[in-house]
Amino acid sequence: MASVARIRSVVLDCPDPHALAAFYAAVAGGTPRAEDDDWVVLEVPDGPRLAFQRAEGYTAPRWPRADRDGQQFHLDFDAGPAWADVDAAHERVLALGARPLDLEDRGKRDFQVYADPAGHPFCLCRIERA
């Protein structure tokens, strides 16, 4: 089936688009470009374009929740093939201002869940290489 359109950006609402763009630039690479005080774009190398939009009265998603007030989406990041890679990424995202949401069951699953500084969930994933 032919597509209707291509995805241009994944947009995250937040109280401070400049700060959140800087956080994700440190996590995924790229340089944030402010279009104005309320909209910042991050071209992630080899990844999707992320945009950050100021939202007055922003309320962070709650995780884990399945109802309408909970998480609406999250981002997965490939931290590498070994747990040592995930451990190193864990320390770096904490230093950048992330907070752990779920670090349990590490031996049973290949990801750990965090919240970015605005409260959006994201995962650091251990991705085995073929």
> What does the pLDDT average to over 96-102?
93
CATH number, residue 103: 3.10.180.10
Number of domains comprising the chain = 2
The two three-digit tokens of residue 23, written as one number: 């956080």
At residue 6, the pLDDT reads 84
Instruction: Please give the Cα distance from 73 to 52 (Å, whole number).
Output: 15
Q: Contact at 8 Å (CB) between 109 and 123?
A: no
At residue 107, the pLDDT reads 65
Same domain, 65 and 126: yes
Instruction: Please give the Cα distance from 4 to 81 (Å, whole number).
Output: 35
Half-sphere exposure of 97 (CA within 13 A, CB side): 14
Domain assignment present for 114: yes
Domain membership of residue 68 as a residue range: 59-130
Domain assignment present for 129: yes
Domain assignment present for 1: no
Mean pLDDT of the chain: 89
**pTM (predicted TM-score):** 0.85
At residue 74, the pLDDT reads 85
Same domain, 25 and 63: no
CATH number, residue 16: 3.30.720.120
Same domain, 16 and 51: yes
Q: Contact at 8 Å (CB) between 102 and 108?
A: no
